[in-house]
């Protein structure tokens, strides 16, 4: 019987296989950042261990860094200590680091692809659950905890139990104004936040093949929101074209050899997935979340659901709590929900195409006087690229703030946070209670919906303008 | 890591599903560079409500957390495991755990046990009518016992052995490090390296 893509990559990385034990898997690339690594470095020091492969390791500062005044020392002493700790650890252990102010600094999942160190067929890990982003290249990429970070630093391997496989077939053609963000929000609403638990997802079908690399990254990025540690897409010409001129892409004969290998990275036609589900791209609409987990989403033209109509008692209780937290009344049209904050950025939607699509909507318009809008590029290079295209002017002229790169308001570790009761339309990935600041309320949206919402002040798509 | 054979203690009934790791420990508490001191941030936002179950005196001293389905979703932060351990929890029971949280807990020595949702609800009811009910979680026997009940649970033999012996994963891998040496000799040369830095 044939193998799925995930099974092929898994098989290619087994260092050791022993009955009754997890497989020991080789890790091709380890990305690190300031929040989930300090305790791992401490562990190495305590055991007098070194990093086995500093040349397969790279660090960037993203989670807690400010997005204003980055030429000045970090004002929050606790954040500063964490960033300084990463810098000191990288210096001591010989790890390449891209610090605040460096042209390659940015969100770890934006930096890897733009450097070309994310490539098909690799195993990639990071102490961050959105590592699944790199699956867009046909890599097996997943988030790990700090104990595992230490394990990878020390051995360049991880003991892992092989996950099951799920195919998600998205056939058809997206309507104008519907994006890859809407695809993944619709998938999560369909299978739920636990639906992918224990699986690697493979996104397939004509609608997926049509997507650009950056849009594919948005889809894979939120695999974890469906409960799956990893999600991937088979590499194709779009992938090879994207990689070709990247700094760390293979060169010369290595390129040819790599492409020949990458072309084998497809699920075989007779491969069997443990589960297959389907979604019709023709029917998709712009999607938005109304609740406090990413599975609580609906098409933008819907109304806030009525918990009384939900039959499952667990889901009904969760919906009741969500509406209370979100300050919403059942039956309200989603488009009548007023927001006061727009966040455009994150590892989900902080790449250049995301900024371009939002700028296209904003151009020549002003954002509502009732809202503030933060535009936070995913990396320093994305920021520079946007500025070279004049996108910064579009955002500033519309009344938005133009910031420097980092995770920012996606998780509110730096000063970019919602206050109690504030409501955001956010292009990020999690609408958990308090995720963007204690008491803050989050509606997850695409960059197009974020831009249209900024102009109208209520949840909107560009078609409403 | 401390060995885990069995543990007896009282229960904190957390009647909520989808408890994500942002609820277990909000991001603002993640700036510490140590593995200790995270108990202050455990359920940081919910704790400001005096009615929140963690604040109820009848449940103080609980060492076994019994939570709803999909516990530990979201962020990979192991700080969520440390926060629970720092506060004094030894075991979490739920009908389903998120993959990364479960992996982290098994590395750090916090036992996570999956029971049927009906069994979770029976424990909630028992504990809510008598908070003093003591539960024994026996990893050796692979069961959870309270009153006259004994509920079997599944756990893979490898993880069970490792937790019962208190073994560090890294040490186990290093015993087989020659297999890593062999693997590396056969890796394709086109695979990328981060050094020297190119841009």
| pLDDT over threshold 90, residue A241 | yes
pLDDT at B168: 85
Please give the model's pTM, rounded to 2 decimal places.
Answer: 0.97
Q: Does the beta carbon of B16 lie under 8 angstroms from any beta carbon of chain A?
A: yes
Tell me if A116 sits within 8 A of A123, measured CB to CB.
no
Mean pLDDT (10-residue bins), chain B, 199 residues: 95 96 95 94 96 97 97 97 98 97 96 98 97 98 97 97 93 95 96 94
**Closest residue of B to A13, CA-based?**
B183
Q: How far apart are CA A108 and CA A149, in angstroms?
A: 15
Tell me if B113 sits within 8 A of B137, measured CB to CB.
yes
Q: Is A116 in contact with B22 (Cβ distance < 8 A)?
A: no
| pLDDT over threshold 90, residue A122 | yes
Angle between helices A108-115 and A213-221 (to 10 degrees): 150
Q: Does the beta carbon of B8 lie under 8 angstroms from any beta carbon of chain A?
A: no
- Band (pLDDT 50/70/90 cuts) for residue A22 is very high
CA distance B71 to chain A (A): 10
Q: Is A55 in contact with B70 (Cβ distance < 8 A)?
A: no
Q: Is B31 in contact with A78 (Cβ distance < 8 A)?
A: yes
| Section A335-354 average pLDDT | 98
pLDDT at B2: 87
Q: Does the beta carbon of A194 lie under 8 angstroms from any beta carbon of chain B?
A: yes
- Name the 3-class secondary structure at B117: helix
In chain A, what residues touch B188 (CB-CB under 8 Å)?
257-258, 261
pLDDT at A77: 93
Q: Does the beta carbon of A413 lie under 8 angstroms from any beta carbon of chain B?
A: yes
- Name the 3-class secondary structure at A199: strand
pLDDT at A362: 98
pLDDT at A37: 97
pLDDT at B1: 84
Q: How far apart are CA A142 and CA A326, in angstroms?
A: 30
pLDDT tens-digit profile of A405-446? 999 999 999 999 999 999 999 999 999 999 999 999 999 999
Q: How far apart are CA B30 and CA A219, in angstroms?
A: 27
In percent, the amount of chain A with pLDDT more than 90 equals: 99
| Section A352-358 average pLDDT | 98
Name, in order, each residue with C-beta under 8 angstroms of B152's C-beta and a sequence gap of 6 or more: B142, B143
Find tokens 């500025």 and name the residue: A387
pLDDT tens-digit profile of A223-240? 999 999 999 999 999 999
pLDDT at B199: 80
In chain A, what residues touch B195 (CB-CB under 8 Å)?
54-55, 96
Tell me if B120 sits within 8 A of B66, measured CB to CB.
yes
**Closest residue of A to B180, CA-based?**
A15
**Closest residue of A to B36, CA-based?**
A39
Q: Does the beta carbon of B136 lie under 8 angstroms from any beta carbon of chain A?
A: no
Q: Does the beta carbon of B190 lie under 8 angstroms from any beta carbon of chain A?
A: yes
| Section A56-75 average pLDDT | 96
Q: Which of A129, A134, A421 to mutate to test the interface with B (most CBs of B within 10 A)?
A: A129
| pLDDT over threshold 90, residue A214 | yes
User: Which residue in A408, A197, A215 sits closest to A295, CA to CA?
Assistant: A197
Q: Is A248 in contact with B103 (Cβ distance < 8 A)?
A: no
Q: Does the beta carbon of A52 lie under 8 angstroms from any beta carbon of chain B?
A: yes
Find tokens 């994006």 and name the residue: A179
Q: Is B26 in contact with A58 (Cβ distance < 8 A)?
A: no
* Helix and strand totals (H; E) in chain A: 16, 19
Q: Per DSSP, what are the bridge partners of residue B112?
A: B92
pLDDT averaged over every residue in chain A: 97
Q: How far apart are CA B130 and CA B65, in angstroms?
A: 15
Backbone phi, psi, residue B113, to 5°: -125, 130
pLDDT at B66: 98
pLDDT at B14: 97
| pLDDT over threshold 90, residue A1 | no
Nearest to A64 among B31, B156, B191 (CB): B31
Q: Does the beta carbon of A247 lie under 8 angstroms from any beta carbon of chain B?
A: yes
| Section A176-202 average pLDDT | 97
Give the pairing of strands A14-16 and A230-232: unpaired
Tell me if A334 sits within 8 A of A304, measured CB to CB.
yes
pLDDT at A314: 85
Nearest to B74 among A129, A155, A413 (CB): A129
| Section A342-369 average pLDDT | 98
């Amino acid at each position: 019987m044939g193998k799925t893509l995930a099974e092929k990559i898994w098989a290619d990385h087994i260092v050791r296989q022993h009955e009754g034990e997890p497989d020991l898997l080789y890790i091709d690339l380890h990305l690190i950042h300031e929040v989930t690594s300090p305790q791992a470095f401490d562990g190495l020091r305590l055991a007098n261990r070194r990093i086995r492969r500093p040349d397969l390791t790279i660090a960037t500062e993203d989670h807690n860094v400010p997005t204003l005044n980055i030429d000045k020392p970090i004002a929050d002493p606790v954040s500063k200590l964490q960033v300084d700790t990463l810098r000191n650890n990288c210096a001591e252990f010989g790890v390449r680091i891209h610090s605040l102010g460096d042209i390659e600094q940015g969100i770890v999942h934006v930096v890897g692809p733009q450097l070309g160190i994310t490539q098909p067929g690799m195993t990639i890990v990071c102490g961050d659950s959105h590592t699944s982003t790199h699956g867009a290249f046909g890599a097996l990429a997943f988030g790990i905890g700090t104990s595992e970070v230490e394990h990878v630093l020390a051995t360049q391997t991880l003991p892992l139990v092989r996950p099951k496989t799920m195919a998600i077939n998205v056939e058809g053609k997206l309507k104008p104004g519907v994006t890859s963000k809407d695809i993944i929000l619709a998938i999560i609403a369909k299978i739920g936040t636990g639906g992918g638990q224990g699986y690697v997802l493979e996104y397939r079908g004509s609608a997926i093949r049509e997507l650009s690399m950056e849009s594919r990254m948005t889809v894979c990025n939120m695999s974890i929101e469906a409960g799956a540690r990893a999600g991937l897409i088979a590499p194709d010409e779009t992938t090879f074209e994207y990689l070709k001129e990247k700094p760390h892409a293979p060169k010369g004969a290595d390129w040819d050899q790599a492409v020949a290998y990458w072309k084998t990275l497809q699920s075989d036609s007779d491969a069997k997935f443990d589960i297959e589900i389907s979604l019709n791209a023709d029917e998709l609409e712009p999607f938005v979340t109304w609740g406090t987990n990413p599975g609580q989403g609906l098409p933008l033209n819907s109304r806030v659901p009525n918990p009384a109509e939900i039959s499952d008692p667990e889901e009904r209780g969760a919906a009741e709590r969500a509406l209370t937290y979100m300050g919403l009344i059942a039956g309200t049209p989603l488009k009548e929900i007023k927001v006061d904050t727009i966040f455009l950025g994150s590892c989900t939607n902080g790449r250049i195409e995301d900024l371009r699509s939002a700028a296209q909507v904003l151009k020549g318009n002003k954002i509502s006087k009732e809202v503030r809008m933060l535009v936070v590029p995913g990396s320093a290079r994305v920021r520079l690229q946007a500025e070279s295209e004049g996108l910064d002017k579009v955002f500033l002229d519309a009344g938005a703030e133009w910031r420097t790169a980092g995770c920012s308001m996606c998780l509110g570790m730096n000063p970019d946070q919602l206050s109690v009761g504030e409501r955001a339309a956010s292009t990020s990935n999690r609408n958990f209670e308090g995720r963007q600041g204690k008491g803050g309320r989050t509606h997850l949206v695409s960059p197009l919906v974020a831009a249209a919402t900024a102009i109208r002040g209520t949840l909107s798509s560009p078609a409403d303008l | 890591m401390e060995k885990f054979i069995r543990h007896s203690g009282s229960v904190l009934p957390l009647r909520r599903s989808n408890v994500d790791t942002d609820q277990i420990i909000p991001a603002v508490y993640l700036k510490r560079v140590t593995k200790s001191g995270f108990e202050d941030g455990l359920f940081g936002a919910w704790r400001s409500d005096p009615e929140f179950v963690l604040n109820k005196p009848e449940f103080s001293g609980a060492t076994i957390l019994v939570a709803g389905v999909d516990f530990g979703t979201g962020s990979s932060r192991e700080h969520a495991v440390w926060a629970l351990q720092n506060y004094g929890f030894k075991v979490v029971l739920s009908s389903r755990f998120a993959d990364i949280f479960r992996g982290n807990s098994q590395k750090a020595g916090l036992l996570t046990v999956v029971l049927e949702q009906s069994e979770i609800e029976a424990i909630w009811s028992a504990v809510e009518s008598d908070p003093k009910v003591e539960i024994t979680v026996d990893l050796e026997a692979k069961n959870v016992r309270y009153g006259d009940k004994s509920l079997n649970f599944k756990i893979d033999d490898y993880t069970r052995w490792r937790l019962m012996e208190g073994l560090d994963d890294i040490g186990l891998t290093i015993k087989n490090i020659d297999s890593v040496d062999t693997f590396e000799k056969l890796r394709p040369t086109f695979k990328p390296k981060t050094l020297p830095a190119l841009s």
